[in-house]
Each structure stands twice: as structure tokens, then as C-alpha cells.
Structure 1
């Protein structure tokens, strides 16, 4: 949900020419006012889960495209839902926050649901009178959960089986932290920022933060960020053109050796946000329509212009 268009003049709009793949429509949801942000996948049921900012709920999409509410609006005091992930135990972790225009309640949560029972099993709540935005998360193979906090510019962690949310990096250490993934060996987190740090690498053992630069271009501003065979798949919605990009890392995963566009300027794009890798396919939210509510005190700016929600996919 990163709209901090910093250093826009530094981002490239030209790219290495290559035959782009065709993104296809995977699912269409009739509910036009979802304003979705996060998407997750459960391999056990072969089902997708879609978060709604505007309706403060989570939608389940079966493999044949049928949509229904998994978590209804406001259930368990869930707020505007952003990034989500499913862990190895079949638990759905969902970042959610009170609306930005609500200056009284400043609450950020991570709700955890058992997908079999549809019941909340944990809730990690942060309410310290400061503005936070739990945006996205990454779950390690060991079961630790790292959470990006965009407004505070930092990372949080929930250790496996812990009942507490812990500060992992200091406030301001990772400006406008957003999409998050890890290197294949999980020694480093890789975090996209909306500021001059670009994409950074965070040493999980030492917490040292260093940039992941490219020799020619500024690498920054990805909403969703995912690791795939030593490449990063990034959803770029901060700069023109909106696109799905592949960032090939060098052998030590500390530099971006090459940046390619998987797809761009698709007519269906309207603030694409995040995605999920299923096999060799990347599924992503093509038209979140975020601009309909940003800066409008929680209201839809133009309800008549809302579109059906489109989930697209592209082969990696």
C-alpha cells in the first residue's frame, strides 16, 4: 500500500528489451467495493484468500473461482486488512490497522486464523498512541513471522509459538517498509522501502541493514515482494508504468544484477498491490483501486466508476 512517490525521477522507465509474457485473468470477483490489498494461498485446500481494506474482511476464493467471506466485516475487531500469508500449519496471518483518518484509535494488529475452523487463534495488538501500519509479513521455515511497519519505518517479529510481538529493528531504520521476503537460505530478509534506501537486506542474526543496489537504476517502491529461484518478483505501483518486475540477484544476493519487466501497462491494471507464488505461476491483484479511498476519509470517491476485482496470473 505504498504511495510515497519519493525520488520518482530516479526510477527507470526504460528497460532491457525482451519478449514479455502475457498475464492472464485468473479470477473475477463481482464485489466491486472490496478495495483488496493482500492475497494468500492455502495449498491444502487449493484456495486463495483476499484481504479487503474498505470492507475490513477476508474473502476466500476456491479453485473454481467461487468467492465467499471467510472472515466477515469487523469480526474479532479486525480492521482494514492488508498483507496476508498462510503458514505450514494452515494458519492465516493477516496484517490489519485502523483507518488512517481515524485519529482517535491508533491500532495495528496481526490476526491469526485457523483455516480449518475459521476461528481466530491469536491476535497481536499494538496500541501505543503512535501511528503504525502493519503492511506485509514473511514467515520463515522455522515459523518466525516478520512484519513490516510502514508508518514507523521498522520491522517487528513474532517468534514461533510466542505470545508477544517484539521490536526487531528500531523505528526509522527501514523507511516506509513495505514488501518483504528473504534470501533462499533465510539468512537475510529483503525489504522494499518507499524511500531512498530502496530495497534493503536485513541480516537476521545481526540486524545489520544494507542496500541491494543496481549499477544503473534505483531499485525501490515495490508493494509486494517475493523470492523465486534467486530472483525477486516485485509488484510496482508507485511509479509509471505499473508493472510486475523480476529482479535477478547476484550469487551473494546483495546486488540486483538485472531487472526485467514481466508485464506492464496492462489495461486491467489499477494500482496492482500484492501477489502469491503458486508453483510456477504468480497470482496478483491487478486492480485494487486504492486511489478510490486514499485521502478521502474512508469513503469511496466515485462509486459509479468501481470495477470488478480482477486477480491475474503470469507464468514465471
Structure 2
């Protein structure tokens, strides 16, 4: 239950005397803790601010952004040892901070001459070094596509890719040759795509991205799930997503899509032509899921909280590295290859593509390998595992757009590259 229905149910409980406290979703808890931290800072109440940030860190499973917030709060309170410990935790996750590297992080002025702080800066510089273990599979010849998602179609030995700016799905050969497959019925951005060769169909999402100038203002925030014929691109089925940002998806073994609402926090299953809510409480901004081999669970990356293993029947979530230790936020797509997660991370600093091996039922990261990072990567979006290769979209073009979806002044779109990394 969401929105008005949830408010009505809670109100009924309160009136009946059954509810002693409100039920918080992850989005509500996140907003509350952020507000508490901001109010404590304004009031000069250091202990209250620390308490709010520490609770945030626990909730967000020690994501890099909140760990850096802890370091700043401790430093501003002259708790140097705790600040250094938080900074060490931050860099151990492979993260960097431009202000620190440029000597402009005023909060850490008292630490700058300390050897431990200098060692942290050295570790940051190492994490900025370029890594490229993949190779270019092909480049898109149309620079205006702005490719978001891709999947492989074995019947044509090529890929289907979605275009955000040109609002269509294209077929792409292994040489990068592009032909149109289908256009958005509403004229909205095409986002997720999954090929179901067993049933000869393609599932996709289209979204009227909030604030984008290339769609009607009255449509902002709406989305739709589409089922298309794999051979012709003709629409077989349309499912109205309403005011939800249904942008990413995975397919269950049954062929039913699992779709995530990156704005509203819900994860849904398409069943009998309708959206059925699986989980609307634990995620803040869910992104591209990945089905696990048992067909009953999916790894769902939350852009803010990290990666959760979602039980598709009960809606229960177990978080990967719940106590921290790996940068699992900022993930746009997660993909599974044997015991490893393959991650496209455009919300970390630096942006990167990673392979992380896990154990204990996908709840603990054991090893981390950088597949690619550095200026040549650009903004990575999504990918797909094809045999022993992991293909991923690099240099998508998102970093060249402003908040209205227009190309920034002085910027020029360049052809996106599809890279591939051999898994074995």
C-alpha cells in the first residue's frame, strides 16, 4: 500500500487506538534524520548532530557519502581521532574527494599536517589512477542516442538498446550499426529493456522524466511498462505506471518483469497485466535488479542504501555488507556472474565498473576488483552478461546534460562506447 491508501490505513489505526507509533518507510526515515542533523547544526548542538549522522550511517550501511559526513562532523567538533578513522574508512572503499586533494577541505584544516592524513591523501590519489581492463566492443555511430540500457538478442546476434533523448529502442549490430526497433508510444524517454527469447517478446519502460524539457510538463513523473514483439517491435501490451519513475527492470524465470521506482522507492512485479507491489518500505531509490539463480530472490541496488537481496514472495530484504566495508551505493545496475556481482557505479567518486565476489548467500563481499575507472569511462549506465563477457555502456552522455535534459552550454555529445570484459 502506498500514498493516500497508506495514510488512510494509518489514520484508521490511530482513531481505533491500535497504533502507538507511526510506521516509517526508508524514505521517511532518511528525510527525518537529514532534517535532525541539519537542525542540530543550525542550533550548534554538536552531540545531537553526531547522533543523527551516526544513525544515518547505520541506516545507509556506511555508504561513502555518509561516512564522509561523519568525518566532517567529527572534525568540526575537534574529534580528530574519530575524524581520521572515518576518513580511513572512506578511502578504504576506494573513494576520493576533490576538495581534500586540492587542499580546500576547510573542515580538515587541523588534520592536514598529520602523517595519517597525508597517508589518506596518498591512498586517494592511488584510487584516482585510471584502470581499463575491458576492451571496446563497438561505438555507437549516432552521438545523440544517449544509451541507457541494453540487452542481448541471440536470435539476431546483436543488442537492443534504449535511447533517452531520441525516445526509442534501437537494434545495434556487433559493429555498432544502428537501426530503429520501436519508438516510445508516448514520446517519452526509453529506459529499461529486457529480451525474453522464450516468449518472443521484449519488455521495456518509458518515462516522462521529471523536469525534462523534451516532454510535456503535465506528463512529468509518469511512466509505462511496455511489452513488444521481438521480431517486429509492435506493442503487445501497455501497463500504466502512473506517477511512478519506473526506470529499471529484471525478468523472472516466468517472464514476468520486476520493475523499480527510482523516485518513489517501490519495487513491483508485473502480474496479470498489473503492477503488484513487492516492497515499498525498505528502498529509497531502487535501480536495476538482478535475478538470483533460485528464481526467488533478486539483488536490488539502492542508489543511497546499497544492495539488498529481496525475497520476491515475502518482500523481506537482507542487505549486502550491512556493516559497511564496501562502496555499494551509487549503483545504476547490478549483474550476476557465478558468485560475483558486476556493478556499474555512476554515483561513486570516482565513477567505476566493479566485480565483487560474495559469500554467505550474497550478504558479504569478499574481494573487489576494478574493471574500469578514470576519465575515459565517462558516465557508465547499464550492461549485460553474454556468455563469458560482460558488456557495459561507457560514456553514455548523462554528464553532459543539465537538469532539464538539455545539453549543457559548451558541451557536445559524443558517441557512447560499449565495452566488454572477459569474466573468465
Distance 1:311 1:302, change over 3 A: farther
Q: Tell me the residue number matched to 1:118.
A: 233
Alpha-carbon shift at residue 21 of structure 1 (Å):
6.5
Q: Tell me the residue number matched to 1:66.
A: 177
Name the structure where strand makes up a greater proportion of residues. 1
> Residue 138 of structure 2 contacts residue 174 of structure 2 at CA under 8 Å; is this kept in 1?
no
* 1:203-249: CA deviation from partner (whole Å, max 9, x where unpaired): 12211122111652242221111111021100011112221111211
Q: Tell me the residue number matched to 2:369.
A: 260
Alpha-carbon shift at residue 53 of structure 1 (Å):
0.8
Question: Secondary structure of 1:185's partner?
Answer: coil
Q: Does 1:30 align with 2:30?
A: no
* 1:53-79: CA deviation from partner (whole Å, max 9, x where unpaired): 11111111123432111123x4x2252
Q: Does 1:219 align with 2:333?
A: no
Question: Secondary structure of 2:255's partner?
Answer: coil
Q: Does 1:199 align with 2:307?
A: yes
Distance 1:309 1:256, change over 3 A: same
Alpha-carbon shift at residue 263 of structure 1 (Å):
2.1
Q: Tell me the residue number matched to 1:142.
A: 254
Q: Tell me the residue number matched to 1:91.
A: 201
- Correspondence list, 1:1-316, <5 A: 6-7=65-66, 9=68, 10=90, 12-13=93-94, 22-72=133-183, 74=184, 76-87=185-196, 88-101=198-211, 103-105=217-219, 106-127=221-242, 130=243, 132-159=244-271, 162-170=272-280, 172-195=281-304, 197-213=305-321, 216-265=325-374, 267-295=375-403, 297-302=404-409, 305-316=412-423
> Residue 202 of structure 2 contacts residue 230 of structure 2 at CA under 8 Å; is this kept in 1?
yes
Task: Say which is worse superposed, 205-214 or 223-232, in terms of deviation.
Answer: 205-214
> Residue 400 of structure 2 contacts residue 411 of structure 2 at CA under 8 Å; is this kept in 1?
no
* 1:145-197: CA deviation from partner (whole Å, max 9, x where unpaired): 100110001101113xx221222222x431110121122212221111122x3
> Residue 308 of structure 2 contacts residue 318 of structure 2 at CA under 8 Å; is this kept in 1?
yes
Partner Cα separation in structure 2 for residue 178 and residue 275 of structure 1: 13
Partner Cα separation in structure 1 for residue 64 and residue 398 of structure 2: 15
Q: What TM-score, normalized by structure 1, do the two folds share? A: 0.87
Distance 1:41 1:141, change over 3 A: same
Larger radius of gyration: 2
Alignment length, in residue pairs? 300
Partner Cα separation in structure 1 for residue 67 and residue 202 of structure 2: 35
Gaps of 5+ in 1: none
Taking only aligned residues, the RMSD between alpha carbons, in angstroms, comes to 2.4
Alpha-carbon shift at residue 259 of structure 1 (Å):
2.1
Q: Tell me the residue number matched to 2:49.
A: none
Distance 1:92 1:7, change over 3 A: farther
Alpha-carbon shift at residue 90 of structure 1 (Å):
2.8
Distance 1:288 1:257, change over 3 A: same
Where relative contact order (Cα < 8 A, 6+ residues apart) is larger, the structure is: 1
Q: Which runs of 4+ in 1 moved over 6 A?
A: 14-17
